[in-house]
Amino acid sequence: MTKEPYYFDPNEYEFNVDSKHGVYIIHGFTNTTYETKDLAEYLGSQGFYTKAINLPGHGTTPEDCNRVEYTDWLEYTEQGVAEMAARCDSIFVVGVSMGSVLALHLSSLFPLNAAVFASTVLEFKDYFGTRILTPLLHKFIPFRHKRLSYSKKIRDELHFFGYKVWPMSAVNEMRKLTNLVKSELTKVKCPALQLHSKIDLLSIPENISLVYEGISSETKKQVLLEKAGHNLFIYSPDQVDVFKEIEEFFISHKTPD
């Protein structure tokens, strides 16, 4: 099995910085730009200015992640989009997993040209553990190994991106973030592309309808993938199709040059 650092990237990336069509890309919980760099590089080659960032508490250590509050994620991404808006004519946001939750929030605040919501996690697979036990126990049990989130039949076959553990205080902050963003869904009105895998092991199917039916966008498109996993932007048999879907959706909603 490949060692974890191969799936871990502490760096942030910018491509095609002279373009006036900006794309702000947000990774998932405990992950890094490892899962977003390929998309950023691809869209950069297609004429967009792209920025792939690491959220506060990510790309460093699980201990750092446990010291972060969900408002830190909100403030960091709000500032990032505001800075991009100051230099670009078109603004797009892409998020995957918790990054998609943040993308929904940003879409409720900024007049975006369009947004992509991929593998969104607003409702949790382990409802009782996340909603009930985590708020009570996160200060006493700071970490939980990611393998324990999966059945014994498959856990040793999986690759884990970013940290090897769930930082439990950060999980509690993600819980708070989802509570906020669920209340903001009707404020999302920009053109929206929703991507989700039918074989996603982390985001339950209920999240698909929750987002698609909850947002107020007049223009929205849903694409359900057959072969990609939860991390939709890393290499998979669906990766090329995913990138093309995003590219074409953004091209159709660019501000004219």
Residue 1 has pLDDT above 70, yes or no: no
For residue 155, name the pLDDT band (cuts at 50, 70, 90): low
pLDDT value of position 127: 81
User: Can you give the pLDDT at residue 18?
Assistant: 97
Q: Does residue 17 register a pLDDT over 80?
A: yes
Assign 6 a pLDDT band (cuts: 50, 70, 90).
Answer: low
Model pTM score: 0.95
Listed by start position, the domains of the chain span: 4-251
pLDDT digits (tens, 9 = 90+) for 193-213: 999 999 998 999 999 999 999
If DSSP states are collapsed to H, E and C, what string results for the chain?
A: CCCHHHHCCCCCEEECCCCCEEEEEECCCCCCHHHCHHHHHHHHHCCCEEEEECCCCCCCCHHHHHCCCHHHHHHHHHHHHHHHHCCCCEEEEEEECHHHHHHHHHHHHCCCCEEEEECCCCCCCCHHHHHHHHHHHCCCCCEEEHHHHCCCCCHHHCCCCCCCEEEHHHHHHHHHHHHHHHCCHHHCCCCEEEEEECCCCCCCCHHHHHHHHHCCCCCEEEEEECCCCCCCCCCCCCHHHHHHHHHHHHHCCCCCC
pLDDT value at residue 89: 98
The CATH fold of domain 4-251? Rossmann fold (3.40.50)
